[in-house]
Structures are given as structure tokens and as C-alpha cells.
Amino acid sequence: MENILSLQNPWKRGQPAISGSIIARQIVPAIEKWLPAEEIIILRGARQAGKTTIIHCLIDNLLKTGVKPQQIFYFLLDNVKLQQEFSQHPYSLKNAIETFLGQTMEKYPERIYIFLDEVQKFPSFAEVVKEYFDLLKNVKFILSGSSVLQLSDRVSESLRGRTISFVVEPFSLAEVIPAVPALTLENLLSERVREEYAAAAPYQNEILLALHKQFVYGSLPRVFLSENNEQRQWRLEEYIQTLIQRDIIETLRVAKYLDFEKMLRLLSFQAGQILNIATLANEVKLNAATVRRYLSLAEEIFIIDRLPPFMSKARKGLTKDQKIYFRDMGLRNHLCRKDTSDLLTFPDLGQEAENFVHIILNKLIAHTRLALPRYFFRSYQGREVDFIIQLNDCLLPIEVKYQGQLNKSDFKNLLTFMEDEKIQTGLMVSKNRFEIQKFDEKQIVVVPLWLFSLIA
């Protein structure tokens, strides 16, 4: 245990918590605000989304603010020996810390920070953490895990009301191009949008290069920072196989993993489309109940999202089914064998652009912690609005038209929805157009995808 503690805690040997330069993550300041509070911090997110790096950033910042190295303990529970030790002897965590401190945790005069990484590997973590939380008021826990299922079940049973949770998303464009001025969704919808466009325009080429990379290969840090596209393809394949073998088989106990993978590959062709459970079950050759369970698992480990339809008194939608989106473009493209830069030359990328906008909205929610309920709308007449967002008690309809030219008919669905719901402003995400279109008392702000991408 002492050897593991020494290896995983280099700051206790006088070494830095972070070696080399890293990309600053927007979510770190929001997490740091909760370090003085008593709540247990939980970091959730996809495998390799950057949770471990963020933990080490938090540790590095604590050390810079004067917290002593002996007050900070980090345990990566992916270590088999740690898993065995903690599973067989739950109090070995406390014993290891007290051995290092040279006294009991109860009597230690300063605050102790305990970081448990990949906590879903520690089966009884919730019960152990709850006991420490209730008895040791000088201890701050920060937990991370890649399985919502494993975390949420145990947290709901043992830690309800004691936690504050953050979702760690992969890189945003604003993170990989920090020189670009910050952009808010509110400013994008206001008269200030012209100023925002002018401020970001000098960086357009740099933004497009990063956007195209994320559009094809996604934004998982290890993939995005790869040296070349061949390496990105190889790492995406490795990611999928690791995901299947570790999260799906080992952690979530899915025996028919080949069926699970087949389902994901079929879904990759349906991103942005309405999900038909019966059709999907028939194609995978599984019963509907199993498909529903697999879909829930895929959602819980941050592979996919399901978007519900919008219903209101003024408008009844055509369907009660949900839309399906992937949470990373690289993962989606690799599953359907489109992880190549040639994808950018395809004549119709509307489906991909719509999924990309969904991912940007995910990152916006994660970074700002705004409550932004999202829906889609499809009428009996076949008119569809891609996203309906509830923003500040108002509805914001967003239509994605990833094309060079726009005509009057492209605005029809948005305008009809805005008229029925008494909405004054709508948003259209285009390929490269920027303009504000006035329609009597209503307006639709048209922005290029590269500018929209800067809101997160």
C-alpha cells in the first residue's frame, strides 16, 4: 500500500502534480468553488474525457494555494491491488492515510483531501465514503467515475443529499483555442452578435481547422491530441474495444457484448433520426426489452443521448418517440466507418452537423451548469425543428441547415413554430452564413457552425 501511495502521489515526494503543459479546462473553476464546501464532489463523464487530468489540476491548484502535500491523497482505483485491498478490508483506506499522517484522521488539525479516481472499481465505496463523511468533518472527498449506472445507484442509496455532481465533457473549441474571445448564447441571440462575429472572425481559419478535426475525429483529449489521423483512427478503435471489454462486459455485466456493439454500429447511421425500438430490435435480433436496456446502458456510460419530443397545448407533436445522438463525433464516425477527413467533402453533412450541435449544447450545459431542457419537434405535416431549448423561462428553437445557400423555405419550419408558440427570436446554424433575418416582429439569427461552436 505504501508503494502504491508513493507512486500515485508524486507531490509527497516533492514532485509536481502535473508534468508538462496541459490544455486548461473550463469546468475546473466551477469545481474549485465547491472545494471549501462540505459536499462530496463527483466527477462523471465518458472514459478518457479528461477526469483524471482535471483531478490533478485541482490537486496542483490546491498545492499552489498553500495546502500541504501531506493533506492530499489520490487513489487510482483502476489498480488491481488497490481494488483487492479496499474490497477485502474497507478500513484499509483510512489505515493507509493514518499511517502516512502518523496520527488518526479525527485528530489531524487541518483539512484532508481524498481523491478517489475510477471509483466504480471500488464496490463498497458509497458506504465507506458515507461513514467517513458523517464521522470526519475535516475530510473532503472528490470522486470520479465513468459509469453513471455504478455511481448513481450507489450514490442514491447511500450519499443522497451529500453530493454535488459535475459532468466532464471532452474538449470544446473554446478550450483548444483559448485566444478566441468568449461567447455566450445570450449574446449570440442579441444585437451584440455582430460585435461577437467581428471579434471572432480573425480566428476563423484556426477555428475551422480545430472544428473539422472534432467534426471527423471527435474531441476526446487523447484522440484530439494525436499526432496524425492514422493515430486518431487507431486510438478510436482501441477506445471502442476498451469500452466494450471493460465498461460493458466487466463493469455492467453485459454478456452479449457483440450484440451491444452491433446495436451501436446500427445507431451510428441513425444519429439525428427518430429512434424506432421495434425496428432496431429486429435488426439486432434481440427482444425490445433487451434493446431498451442496452440503450439505457449506452446512455449511462456517455455514448449516446436520447432527445424527447416537444409537446405543448398549442402544438401536438406527431411522435412520442425519441431522437438519438452520439456524445462524440469521432466515436460515431468510427462506428459507421466514416472516420476519415474525406467526410468533409461529402455533399450532405446535415445529419452530422445536427449531431455536432447537440454535442456543443452538452458542453455548454456542463461548463455553465445551466438547466437547459432540450427537445425536438415534428408536426403532423412533417415540419421539424431540430432543437427546442428552454432558456430563462423562454423557448429557443434552433434549426441546423448545414448548407451554403439559404432560401425562404428554409426558414418556414422555424417561423411556423415561433408563430404558434409566440416566440420572437429563433436561431439557425448554417455552414457559413451570418445574418439576422427579420420577419415582421420576429427575427432569426443565422450563424455559421464555427461561431456557434464557441458558446461552449
Which residues lie below 8 Å from residue 153, measured CB to CB, with a gap of 6+?
Answer: none
Q: Which residues of 410-437 are buried (b: 16+ CB within 10 A; e: fewer)?
A: bbebbbbbbeebebebbbbbbbebeeeb
What mean pLDDT is reported for the chain?
A: 90
Specify which of 26-35, 125-134, 293-302 reaches the highest per-range mean pLDDT.
26-35
Greatest Cα pair distance in the chain: 74
Would you give the DSSP letter of residue 374?
E
pLDDT greater at residue 69 or residue 89: 69
Q: Please tell me which of 1-15, 199-213, 239-253 the model is most confident about, judged by mean pLDDT.
A: 199-213
- What pLDDT sits at residue 401? 97
Exposure b/e, 50-79, CB count within 10 A at least 16 = b: bbbbbbbbbbbbbbeeebebbbbbbbbbeb
CATH architecture of 2-168: 3-Layer(aba) Sandwich (3.40)
As a three-state string, the secondary structure of 382-428 is CCEEEEEEEECCEEEEEEEECCCCCCHHHHHHHHHHHHHCCCCEEEE
pLDDT band at 86 (very low <50, low <70, confident <90, very high): confident
pLDDT at residue 315, as a whole number: 53
For residue 314, count CB atoms less than 10 angstroms from its CB and return exposed for 0-12, middle for 13-18, buried for 19 or more: exposed
**Grid coordinates of 172:** 470544446
What pLDDT sits at residue 94?
A: 87
How many residues would you count in the chain? 456
Q: Are 455 and 398 in contact (CB under 8 A)?
A: no
Structure confidence by residue, pLDDT tens digits, 359-409: 999 999 999 888 889 999 988 777 899 999 998 889 999 999 999 899 999
* Every domain of the chain and the residues it spans: 2-168, 173-455
CB 169 within 8 A of CB 53: no
- Dihedral over alpha carbons 206, 209, 215, 217 (to 10 degrees): -120
- C-beta of residue 413 within 8 angstroms of C-beta of residue 384: yes
